[in-house]
């Protein structure tokens, strides 16, 4: 009797598992949202930043229905400084230093990881909140300062260059939509971020500067001002150094187009 009872239990257990699997397979076949068919990856490029020759790329991976990780990389190929006149107005308080960025070249790159928490449909769709970290690097060269010389008629030029880095933390609010089976639209509504920055710039002359020339160059360097942060500029017999430190902030906003897979 016990053997028959055990056999019956085993048969019922086997039938139960088979029925459960069969039901699950049937549901998966009918549903367009089964786990195997959910597209958990996407790659995107920002459309709005292309206006400024800034190439912003992102890769996103859904870890769960509500949580995703995003890695972003953006860069501007080195070239002329955009908004040159506005930058001159912000950094110079004298007409003598208004042309320091006339021949300057600027390159930019940023690395931005973030964690997204989706409040809507999930799996990379709907409204989201995303804390993020951003590391920015600006490569600047050919910044010219003119100063009176003991040996050269008129003005002599000192060309300076260096790198400014910034590390910030922020919170992005946005929404991501499907435009088709594979095409998505990512709207960065607003993403304020804040942190600190540090920059080192150096300019060297082909010869040693006289004390008079160093004083003249120092007077030009003293005309530099920043809307925020501290600047320490010093002329020496080999040229000059500039050190920048202080707060850094900004706002991320824009529209990206992507491919989901």
pLDDT > 70 in the chain, percent: 79
Give the pLDDT confidence of 188-200 residue by residue, as tens digits.
Answer: 999 999 999 999 9
Give dist(CA 100, CA 74) in Å, integer: 27
One domain, residues 29 and 143: no
pLDDT band at 101 (very low <50, low <70, confident <90, very high): confident
Residue-range definition of the domain harbouring residue 155: 40-260
- The per-residue pLDDT for 17 is 40
One domain, residues 164 and 89: yes
- The per-residue pLDDT for 151 is 78
One domain, residues 11 and 45: no
One domain, residues 31 and 45: no
CATH of residue 74's domain is 2.40.160
Output 80 or 23, whichever has higher pLDDT: 80
One domain, residues 30 and 110: no
* DSSP symbols for 6-54: HHHHHHHHHHHHHHHHHHHHHHHHH-TT-GGG---EEEEEESSGGGGT-
**Is a pLDDT exceeding 70 seen at residue 36?**
no
One domain, residues 143 and 30: no
**Is a pLDDT exceeding 70 seen at residue 4?**
no
Element of type H or E holding 34: none
Give the pLDDT confidence of 131-185 residue by residue, as tens digits.
Answer: 999 999 999 999 999 888 877 777 888 999 999 999 999 999 999 999 999 999 9
Mean pLDDT on 41-70: 96
One domain, residues 24 and 75: no
Pick from 93-107, 207-221, 243-257: least confident: 93-107
Residue 151 in tokens: 């040996």
One domain, residues 22 and 45: no
One domain, residues 75 and 14: no
One domain, residues 1 and 49: no
Residue in 145, 142, 140 with CA at minimum distance from that of residue 165: 140
**Total domains present in the chain:** 2
One domain, residues 186 and 223: yes
Cα 175–Cα 178–Cα 180 angle in degrees, nearest 5: 165
Output 252 or 1, whichever has higher pLDDT: 252
One domain, residues 7 and 58: no
């Amino acid at each position: 009797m016990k053997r028959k009872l055990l056999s019956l239990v085993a048969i019922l257990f086997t039938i139960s598992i088979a029925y459960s699997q069969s039901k699950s397979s049937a549901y998966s076949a009918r549903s367009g949202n089964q786990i195997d068919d959910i597209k958990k990856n996407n790659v995107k490029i920002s459309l709005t930043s292309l206006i400024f020759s800034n190439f912003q790329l992102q890769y996103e991976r859904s870890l769960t229905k509500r949580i995703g990780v995003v890695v972003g990389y953006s860069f501007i190929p080195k070239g002329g400084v955009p908004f040159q006149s506005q930058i001159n107005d912000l950094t110079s308080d004298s007409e003598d230093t208004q042309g320091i960025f006339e021949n300057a070249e600027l390159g930019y790159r940023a690395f931005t990881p973030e964690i997204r928490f989706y409040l809507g449909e999930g799996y990379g769709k709907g409204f989201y909140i995303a804390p993020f970290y951003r590391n920015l690097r600006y490569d600047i060269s050919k910044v010219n300062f003119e100063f009176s010389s003991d040996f050269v008629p008129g003005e002599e030029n000192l060309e300076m260059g260096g790198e400014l880095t910034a590390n910030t933390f922020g919170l992005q609010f946005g929404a991501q939509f499907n435009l088709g089976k594979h095409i998505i639209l990512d709207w960065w509504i607003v993403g304020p971020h804040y942190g600190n920055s540090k920059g080192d710039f150096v300019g060297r002359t082909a010869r040693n500067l006289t004390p008079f020339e160093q004083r003249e160059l120092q007077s030009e360097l003293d005309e530099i001002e920043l809307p925020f942060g501290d600047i320490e500029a010093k002329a020496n017999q080999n040229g000059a150094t500039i050190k920048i430190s202080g707060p850094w902030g900004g706002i991320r906003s824009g529209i990206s187009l992507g491919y989901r897979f």
